[in-house]
Structure 1
Amino acid sequence: MSGDPLAALRAATRARVALGRAGDALPTADLLELRAAHAAARDAVHLPLDVDAVTAQARELGVEVLHATSLARDRAEYLTRPDLGRRLADDDLPAGAYDVVLVLADGLSPLALQTHGVPMLREVLARLDGWRVAPVVVATQARVALGDEITAAVGARSVVVLVGERPGMSSTDSLGIYFTFDARRGRRDSERNCLSNIRPPHGTGYAAAATTLVMLMAEARRLGLSGVALKADPALPANVEV
């Protein structure tokens, strides 16, 4: 048996628990690790997305890729003006008639999209038989609601936004997925379904997330809605947001 009774607890979580004390402060090693994690989280927010690399990787999946950006002119404006991150700078995207558009958005962690975006995209595309899928859109300085305007611009009914989530002290590369049925400008967050913490091996895996997402999409199309009224698991009570 370990001499440290909290060793099992520490091994079961990436959270910082039972760090100990050195006088009235943290032990030096833990304090330095905490500061390094804080710096990594800040770096993840400001790291620019390598649009060319993500585009090239997505095209290897055999899809057409378009580019879009929000009205936020740079990262500083994006962080201080969330409203601009929800508006398209130019809505002159090729339009068609599609069931869904998939958006790869940098969000608050471009690192997350750079790391997990295309692998997640691959799993989603593999499960979309019977869906008319628009060209993939890589969006920069993007908030989730930017997907609503992209949906209207390309002529789609629904949108799936793969977006970098706000970095935390133990997670700098967490990817989120937001699905909105009948997407259009002015949709509320309660009208979206969210799958979060996609970051194998420490979070949800790509295949599991894609399976849940496509099930939600199919139910949304059948019922004509998304958001808090749409359940991800029949065992859940009604109006549980995913």
Structure 2
Amino acid sequence: MADKPDTILVENPWQTLREYTDARIGLGRAGISLPTRAHLEFQLAHARARDAVHLPLGFVQLQQDLEQVLAQAGLPGPVLKLASQADGRPQYLQRPDYGRQLSSSSQEALTQWMADSPPAAFDIAVVVADGLSSLAVQRHAAPMLDCLLTSLADTSLKVGPVVMVEQGRVAIGDPIGETLKARMLVMLIGERPGLSSPDSLGIYFTWKPASGKHDANRNCISNVRHEGLRYEEATHKLMYLLLEADRRALSGVALKDESDNGQPSLASKSGNLLLKTPNT
């Protein structure tokens, strides 16, 4: 008669690869089910993802953080606060089209601001929207902007107004950039949370933003966060797009990210997990 195993938990031989990724691999099993630890970790990740979607963005703190970044860069600002047509989070989630357009009061306020206080000549407008992860914007928008402004200091490109949008989606940047008469638009927005990435920030770049632009007219840099694409590497890619767009007057599918061609990527410093020998 075979001896009974000391434990009902069966370890997975791929478990050592978890050292290199947050992906759910090598979880093992207990009978035909997940081990209790893995099951509870999944529930926690799912709860964090839901919280990231529903947690309100602290716009007061965000405005202070963004204004501090602008002040350190010697820029006057301002940081404007607008809202989409979505009246609250439930409507924002149920009606994506409302999140793509400014409310009538916000559109009027922005137009009036341009008439009363037109900004000095600039090239780039920056829009920061809560999107589907307020957590991502709260954590990463200000330091990402700081990194971008540091790189732009060595160029002739000038940053103009910074606009915060409540209940905003990606396309809401187009009417904002159009009203501001921006040559280029950089949008920082919270991405749809994943089960291992509730705080992923997305960057969308558009040349000559205007109402009615399609996603094909935009470039996207995704997964900006400490465990994903670092601020420095995201800025490296974004600077390539900005400078090439300024030179070629285009963005979107016509503008490919070739920022790493002929040189090692900043990400290569962390190495390739497939070439490492897992600890045993």
- TM normalised by structure 1 equals 0.91
Counting helix residues as a fraction of each chain, which structure ranks higher?
2
1:14-163 paired onto structure 2 within 5 Å: 14-61=22-69, 62=71, 63-89=77-103, 90-91=106-107, 92-93=109-110, 94-95=113-114, 96=118, 98-128=122-152, 129-163=155-189
Give me the whole-angstrom Cα distance separating, in 2, the residues matched to 1:42 and 1:14.
Answer: 18
Is contact 2:236-2:259 (8 Å) kept? no
CA deviation after TM superposition for structure 1 residue 4, in Å = 6.3
| Structure 1: segments with no counterpart, 5+ residues | 237-242
CA deviation after TM superposition for structure 1 residue 127, in Å = 2.2
1:211 aligns with 2:236: yes
1:160-179 paired onto structure 2 within 5 Å: 160-179=186-205
- Residues 150-180 of structure 1, C-alpha deviation per residue, up to 9 Å, x if partnerless? 1112221221000111001001000010000
CA deviation after TM superposition for structure 1 residue 21, in Å = 2.0
Is contact 1:176-1:196 (8 Å) kept? yes
2:210 to 184, 191, 216: 184
1:198 aligns with 2:224: yes
Is contact 1:98-1:155 (8 Å) kept? no
Q: Which has the larger radius of gyration?
A: 2
Give me the whole-angstrom Cα distance separating, in 2, the residues matched to 1:122 and 1:75.
Answer: 29
CA deviation after TM superposition for structure 1 residue 234, in Å = 6.4
- Residues 70-91 of structure 1, C-alpha deviation per residue, up to 9 Å, x if partnerless? 0001000000100000001121
CA deviation after TM superposition for structure 1 residue 213, in Å = 0.4
Higher deviation after alignment, 168-177 or 119-128:
119-128
Give me the whole-angstrom Cα distance separating, in 2, the residues matched to 1:157 and 1:71.
Answer: 25
Is contact 1:100-1:131 (8 Å) kept? yes
The structure 1 segments of at least 4 consecutive aligned residues displaced by more than 4 Å after TM superposition are none
CA deviation after TM superposition for structure 1 residue 8, in Å = 2.6
Matched to 1:10, the amino acid is R
Aligned length: 233
Give me the whole-angstrom Cα distance separating, in 2, the residues matched to 1:50 and 1:99.
Answer: 28
- TM normalised by structure 2 equals 0.79
CA deviation after TM superposition for structure 1 residue 226, in Å = 0.3
CA deviation after TM superposition for structure 1 residue 232, in Å = 1.4
CA deviation after TM superposition for structure 1 residue 235, in Å = 7.2
Is contact 2:62-2:142 (8 Å) kept? yes
